[in-house]
Chain A
Amino acid sequence: DTGVSQDPRHKITKRGQNVTFRCDPISEHNRLYWYRQTLGQGPEFLTYFQNEAQLEKSRLLSDRFSAERPKGSFSTLEIQRTEQGDSAMYLCASSLAGQGQVDTQYFGPGTRLTVL
Chain B
Amino acid sequence: GDSVTQMEGPVTLSEEAFLTINCTYTATGYPSLFWYVQYPGEGLQLLLKATKADDKGSNKGFEATYRKETTSFHLEKGSVQVSDSAVYFCALRYSSASKIIFGSGTRLSIRP
Contacts and interface: CB of A to CB of B under 8 A. Distances in A.
Interface residues of A, number: 26
Interface stretch (B13-21, B41-49, B78-86): B41-49
B104 interface: yes
A109 B104 contact: no
B103 A42 contact: yes
A25 interface: no
Nearest to B46: A104
B58 interface: no
Interface in A56-81: 56, 58
Interface of A: 3-4, 31, 33, 35, 40-45, 48, 55-56, 58, 91, 93, 101-102, 104-110
Interface of B: 4, 32, 36, 41-46, 49, 51, 89, 91, 93, 95, 98-105
